[in-house]
């Protein structure tokens, strides 16, 4: 008889645990977030720079042409890869449309579409304004759409996206907000222009402050869940492996072949960013501040490329103009003289600076189905959303489920004769 009661208790436990898992999955996949709002640079741009281009010279930007987009969209979309980006995989995973670029949207019908996802990220964008870099002799060759500019677009668009302040706070609070990646180009543009690493390192606190300021502004507007990525390991990029090839800078990590000093630079940025995010968490305990560890998610395939299917390596670009890493600043991917590999899925790097769809998929999987977000993303759903979905507090709702489960099995046991002591 004790065994029968134990079995009944086990049924209750299994039922309840299964129900919890199903409900958690349902929230994550079908209603936890009603929209994605994105800011950043080429790691997240789904077409804004392409739409901003207005002159023939601007249209000569190489990633507006094939073979960009060849593996998934079968045409260039303005994404700096052969296919989807991390943001695309996120949208698919939470069953939202691929996030629409903001630039060029006209008419109420199209503005309505943006309520399910809007992207302000622009390839080449920096966290700091262009004036900061220009004052130091570094010009942005692609855009002046810094993070501050993107945030301005967002605030300006709010009257069209939502009718009033309460409605806007509701929309923003129920959105997953992606803050980047942003900041990498503040360093890229300067380093490629010839600035020393020591000089560029002085930018880091200012870059972090720009990101933190944007995060705080979004929280004031009603944001409840923000995902803030760190920088990728830039010492593994063919751009820098080519630039510093054979120089005194070329001190390599034996386990990866990446440049040690540049990767330490990325780690420095990421450590300072995480420190500042912890400070925001202390002030805004009701907000989900999620750090996305792009660096270590990517380092997995730089350390073990074959394990992740990159049989042609992680350091050589699939599409480029030749050289030891198939990167040539004079012959970029999509140039008539460039070459493109037959199987991009066997390469981690696409064009020297950006990754392939296959690499972005691995980073996405590591972040959202693995351990590389802090706290883990798949457990994060704002309590306010639970209130709205269930019409009551989540604890009360789950308590009712427990009672219902226990009553169900008590009735089941009575019918089967468990409470009578035997089955006969």
Catalytic residues: 42, 351, 354
Q: Determine the 3-state secondary structure of 191 from DSSP.
A: helix
CB atoms within 10 A of CB 283: 10
Measure the CA–CA gap between 305 and 307, rounded to whole angstroms.
5
* Crossing angle for the helix pair 204-220 and 260-283, to the nearest 10 degrees: 30
CA dist 389 and 375 (Å) reads 23
Calculate the alpha carbon distances from 410 to 7, 103, 307 in Å: 12, 59, 50
DSSP letters along 400-422, please? HHHHHHHHHHHHHHHHHTTTTT-
C-beta of residue 303 within 8 angstroms of C-beta of residue 240: no
Report the alpha-carbon angle 380-286-43, nearest 5.
Answer: 50
CA distances 346 to 256, 318, 358, Å, are 17, 9, 8
Sequence-distant (≥ 6) Cβ neighbours of residue 192 within 8 angstroms: 239, 243
| CA 371 to the chain's CA centroid | 14
How many alpha carbons fall within 13 Å on the CB side of residue 45?
31
CA distance 280 to 213: 10
From the list 152, 154, 108, 149, the residue with the least C-alpha distance to 129 is 149
As separate numbers, helices (DSSP H) first and strands (DSSP E) second, the chain gives 16, 9
For the chain, the residue count is 424
Instruction: List strands edge to edge, sheet with 373-374.
Output: 100-101, 118-119, 35-39, 175-179, 225-229, 288-292, 373-374
Q: Cα separation of 172 and 162, whole Å?
A: 10
> Which residue, chain included where needed, has tokens 């080449």?
124
Would you list the DSSP string of 280-312? Answer: HHHH-TTSEEEEE-HHHHHHHHHH-TGGGT-TT
Among residues 220, 67, 203, 196, which one has the least CA distance to residue 128? 203
């Amino acid at each position: 008889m004790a065994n029968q009661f134990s079995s009944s208790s086990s049924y209750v436990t299994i039922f309840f645990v299964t129900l919890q898992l199903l409900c958690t999955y349902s929230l994550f996949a079908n209603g936890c977030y009603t929209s994605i709002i994105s800011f950043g640079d080429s790691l997240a741009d789904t077409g804004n720079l392409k739409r901003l281009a207005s002159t023939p010279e601007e249209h000569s930007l190489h990633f507006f042409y094939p073979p960009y987009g060849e593996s998934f969209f079968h045409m260039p979309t303005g994404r700096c890869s052969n296919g989807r980006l991390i943001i695309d995989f996120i949208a698919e995973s939470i069953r939202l449309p691929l996030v629409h670029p903001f630039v060029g949207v006209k008419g109420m019908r199209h503005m309505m579409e943006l309520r399910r996802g809007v992207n302000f990220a622009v390839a080449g964008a920096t966290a700091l304004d262009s004036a900061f870099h220009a004052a130091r002799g570094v010009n942005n060759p692609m855009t002046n759409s810094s993070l501050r500019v993107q945030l301005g677009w967002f605030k300006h668009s709010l009257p069209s996206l939502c009718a009033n302040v309460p409605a806007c706070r509701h929309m923003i609070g129920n959105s997953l907000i992606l803050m980047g990646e942003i900041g990498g180009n503040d360093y890229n543009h300067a380093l490629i222009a010839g600035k020393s690493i020591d000089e560029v390192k002085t930018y880091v606190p200012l870059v972090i402050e720009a990101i933190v300021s944007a995060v705080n502004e979004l929280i004031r507007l009603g944001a409840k869940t923000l995902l803030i990525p760190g920088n990728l390991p830039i010492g593994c990029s063919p751009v820098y492996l080519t630039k510093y090839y054979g120089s005194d800078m070329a001190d390599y990590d034996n386990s990866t072949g990446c440049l040690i000093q540049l990767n330490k630079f990325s780690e420095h940025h990421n450590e300072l960013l995480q420190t500042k995010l912890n400070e925001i968490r202390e002030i805004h305990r009701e907000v989900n501040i999620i750090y996305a560890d792009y660096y270590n998610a990517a380092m997995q395939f730089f350390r073990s490329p074959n394990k992740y299917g990159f049989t042609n390596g992680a350091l050589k670009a699939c599409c480029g103009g030749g050289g030891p890493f198939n990167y040539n600043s004079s012959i970029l991917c999509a140039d008539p003289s460039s070459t493109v590999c037959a199987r991009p899925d066997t390469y981690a790097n696409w064009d020297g600076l950006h990754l392939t769809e296959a690499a972005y998929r691995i980073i996405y999987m590591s972040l959202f189905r693995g351990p590389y977000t802090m706290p883990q993303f798949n457990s994060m759903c704002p309590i306010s959303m639970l209130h709205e979905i269930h019409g009551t507090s989540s604890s009360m709702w789950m308590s009712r489920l427990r009672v219902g489960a226990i009553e169900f099995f008590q009735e089941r046991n009575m019918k089967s004769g468990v409470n009578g002591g035997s089955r006969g």
